[in-house]
């Protein structure tokens, strides 16, 4: 993680800097706001700004917003600066760290605000196969497309690939294509020249140049406008970019990783994603299984999150009971690892003893863990399906249901009468008689090779 300290490096602030470096952060320093802004414009980026509370934090945040630089700000100062701390939070600072600094607090705040977590825990064979492939291709320069449902850990895998690549000592820059407005994304990626548009008060280096020598992660690339995809394709193919308002190409040396929770092949068919860009990105595809498809990871991750958040919040050691572990394995986890982590963080905070039982774990929608496990059990799902089918049949005649079943089966077989009769368990003669009847009643009957519906 890259940390930029803004303010005079004296005494306690220097101590906070040393603690951050001991925690693995790469630390740079700017004595004032203007110097900090100049450093950010030139591509010496940061994941987090740690700012002396006595500085003009409101002015700093306004300057960041005016130049569309999205970096979280954390204020720090002596505990007697209560009014300044309140003003900093009101101005938009994410957190306030009192000085003298506490090493655990600094580590926790840096991790929480920057989301630069290196946690990568896996036990399940399905995930082991993905990691093995990731290790195999990490040392290459190939573009990698990482796909999977939201919350499966796509960015964690991207960081894992970068950490084992030849570029590990260089920057890892992530851009969330879904979080940045379409009108601003081009400037965010490629930078801009002074005066290129309203608010462009100085030249600013984009993420491509900031990542030069290292790795650029295009997170949720499926959300990028198709017109900008053409410019991205050129940058990947030729390794040059054009700043907005620029007059000459700028060479860049980067490796591209991309993530998507959508089916990009389907997006190509819909016309919302360029096929040639997909070919360029999808040299290697790492498909992350959903958490429900990697049960071997659920308990291991759960134990890790319980220990992590008990320690981060200064609480006694917590432990999951056997019934909690069993219920965790049965829950559906539509939010995947992210949902599991948030659920267990909440359970740790609300636990009244050292043992966390299933009854104490509540999912984000308010449903208890045992209740969710029962709702997701095969018996319950089968009962729900049977009930839904019963409701769908109420009020309909046997002839109606028979006709729909026959015509749906014929659609399924693309009009093949023999195949449909075999599936239905009736003779071909009976089927033909029924179809002749439906045709006489004015219904459209698909011919061989046809369907009524293609959806």
Q: For 201-231, give one letter per residue: b (16+ CB within 10 A) or e.
A: eebbbbbbbbbbebbbbbbbbbbbeeeebee
**Which of 135, 124, 216, 143 has the alpha carbon at shortest distance from 176?**
216
Helix (H), strand (E) at residue 320: strand 319-320
**What pLDDT does residue 217 have?**
95
**Which of 160, 238, 165, 245 has the alpha carbon at shortest distance from 201?**
245
Task: Please state the CATH superfamily assignment of the domain spanning residues 131-287 in this structure.
Answer: P-loop containing nucleotide triphosphate hydrolases (3.40.50.300)
Question: ∠ at Cα 372 (368, 375), nearest 5°?
Answer: 140
* Domains 2-114 and 131-287 are alike in CATH topology: yes
Q: What is the pTM of this model?
A: 0.66
As a three-state string, the secondary structure of 140-194 is CCCCEEEECCCCCCHHHHHHHHHHCCCCCCCCEEEEECCCCCHHHHHHHHHCECC
Whether the CB-CB separation of 260 and 249 falls below 8 Å is answered with no
User: In this structure, what token pair is assigned to residue 431?
Assistant: 């089927």
Domain ranges of the chain: 2-114, 131-287, 293-375, 395-440
Whether the CB-CB separation of 156 and 304 falls below 8 Å is answered with no
Cis check for the bond before 100: say yes or no (omega within 30 of 0).
Answer: yes
Whether the CB-CB separation of 439 and 445 falls below 8 Å is answered with yes
Stretches in the chain below the pLDDT threshold 70: 9-13, 23-24, 43, 79-81, 101-103, 105-119, 364-394, 453-455
**What pLDDT does residue 294 have?**
92
The position carrying tokens 């071997």 is 296
Whether the CB-CB separation of 449 and 414 falls below 8 Å is answered with yes
CATH of 2-114, picked from 3.40.50.12160, 2.70.70.10, 3.10.290.10, 3.40.50.2300, is 3.40.50.2300
Question: ∠ at Cα 250 (244, 252), nearest 5°?
Answer: 115
Q: What is the CATH number of domain 395-440?
A: 1.10.10.60
The position carrying tokens 């209740």 is 371
In this structure, what are the phi and psi dihedrals at residue 110, rounded to the nearest 5 degrees? -60, -45
Task: State CA 397 to chain mean position distance.
Answer: 49
**Architecture of the domain defined by 293-375:** Orthogonal Bundle (1.10)
**Which of 317, 416, 415, 329 has the alpha carbon at shortest distance from 372?**
329
**What pLDDT does residue 118 have?**
47
């Amino acid at each position: 993680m890259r940390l930029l300290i803004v303010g005079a490096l004296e005494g306690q602030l220097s101590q906070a800097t040393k603690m951050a470096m001991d925690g693995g952060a790469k630390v740079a320093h700017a004595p004032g706001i203007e110097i900090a802004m100049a450093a950010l414009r030139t591509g010496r980026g940061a994941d987090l700004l740690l700012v002396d509370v006595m500085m003009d934090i409101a002015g700093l945040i306004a300057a960041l917003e005016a130049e569309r630089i999205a970096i979280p700000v954390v204020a720090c100062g002596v505990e007697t600066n209560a009014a300044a701390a309140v003003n900093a939070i009101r101005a938009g600072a994410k957190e306030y760290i009192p000085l003298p600094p506490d090493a655990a607090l600094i580590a926790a705040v840096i991790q929480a605000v920057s989301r630069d977590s290196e946690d990568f825990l896996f036990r399940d064979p399905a995930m082991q196969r993905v990691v093995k492939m990731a290790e195999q291709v990490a040392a290459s320069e190939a573009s990698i497309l990482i796909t999977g449902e939201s919350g499966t850990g796509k960015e964690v895998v991207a960081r894992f690939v970068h950490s084992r690549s030849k570029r590990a000592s260089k920057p890892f820059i992530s851009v969330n294509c879904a979080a940045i407005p379409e009108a601003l994304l081009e400037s965010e990626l490629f930078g801009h020249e002074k005066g290129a548009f309203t608010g462009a008060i100085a030249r600013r280096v984009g993420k491509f140049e900031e990542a030069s020598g290292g790795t650029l992660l295009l997170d949720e690339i499926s959300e990028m406008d198709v017109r900008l995809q053409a410019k991205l394709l050129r940058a990947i193919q030729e390794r040059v970019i054009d700043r907005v308002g620029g007059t000459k190409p700028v060479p860049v040396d980067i490796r591209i990783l991309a993530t998507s929770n959508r089916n990009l092949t389907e997006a190509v068919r819909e016309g919302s994603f360029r096929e040639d860009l997909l070919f360029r990105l999808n040299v290697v595809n790492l498909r992350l299984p959903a958490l429900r498809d990697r049960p071997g990871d659920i308990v291991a991750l759960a134990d890790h999150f319980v220990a992590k958040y008990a320690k981060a919040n200064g609480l006694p050691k917590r432990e999951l009971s056997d019934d909690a572990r069993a219920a965790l394995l049965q829950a559906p986890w539509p939010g995947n690892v992210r949902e599991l982590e948030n659920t267990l963080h909440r359970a740790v905070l609300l636990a009244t003893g050292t043992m966390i039982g299933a009854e104490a774990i509540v999912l984000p929608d308010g449903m208890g863990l045992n209740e969710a496990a029962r709702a997701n059990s095969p018996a319950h799902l089968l009962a729900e399906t049977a009930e839904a089918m019963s409701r769908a049949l109420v009020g309909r005649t046997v002839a109606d249901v028979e006709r729909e079943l026959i015509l749906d089966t014929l659609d399924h077989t693309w009009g093949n009468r023999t195949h449909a009769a075999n599936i239905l368990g009736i003779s071909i003669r009976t089927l033909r008689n029924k179809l002749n009847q439906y045709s006489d009643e004015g219904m459209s009957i698909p011919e061989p090779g046809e369907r009524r519906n293609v959806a």
